[in-house]
Amino acid sequence: MYTTTFILAALAAVGQARFGREGLVQASVQALSDFGAPGAAGTLAGQTPGVLLAGASACAKLELADQIVAELGTDPAVLAAAAELVAAEKNFNPSAQAIPTICSDASLPATAELRGIVPLVDPDVVGADVQNANSAASLQTPFAADGLSVADVTTAQGFSNFTLQA
């Protein structure tokens, strides 16, 4: 009884920690209110949860990251928030899918500074340890991405347990 309660509490804590990390992307974009037209950062921030939903296309967050830079500019703070979105984990519904989806459109993201960044994936997926280490590393130093989709870069760096999505 005690053990069950403890495990449930621990699982809830893990779930909240992972959910909170997605909320961080929205907060990072929201914080860019000094850039772009009045209200633009808030509007873009409000669009971040939708592109991270399990049902959203894996390419949608890359398009939104490009849009963030297009509307707010290339200040390092803007690029950092957009990069955070590119690297963000898309929600994952284990009862509907066994493995993550990653965008296979080589034209995305179009912003040069956002290329070569690979996304976090659900830590329960086989191979996620490699991918999540790669994701963190790519935010520091992006991987080579000339002519490659995010899916291509991901595979080149050693993680291939995902479904392509154009």
Residues within the interface to ligand NAG (CB under 6 A): 98-99, 125-127, 161
| Distance (Å, whole) CA 119 – CA 86 | 6
Q: What is the largest CA-CA distance in the chain?
A: 55
DSSP H stretches of helix in 31-59? 40-51
Min separation Cβ 91 and ligand NAG, Å:
16
Nearer to ligand NAG, 15 or 42 (CB): 15
Nearer to ligand NAG, 23 or 123 (CB): 123
Min separation Cβ 104 and ligand NAG, Å:
17
Nearer to ligand NAG, 99 or 148 (CB): 99
Nearer to ligand NAG, 29 or 125 (CB): 125
Min separation Cβ 99 and ligand NAG, Å:
5
Min separation Cβ 158 and ligand NAG, Å:
12
Nearer to ligand NAG, 87 or 125 (CB): 125
Min separation Cβ 86 and ligand NAG, Å:
22
Eight-class DSSP state of 112: G
Kindly list the distances between the CA atom of residue 124 and the CA atoms of 93, 132, 150, in Å, as whole numbers in the listed order. Answer: 12, 11, 21
Question: Taking a C-beta distance cutoff of 8 angstroms, is the pair 154, 134 a contact?
Answer: yes
Residues with Cβ < 8 Å from 15, sequence gap 6 or more? none
Run of H or E including 103: strand 101-103
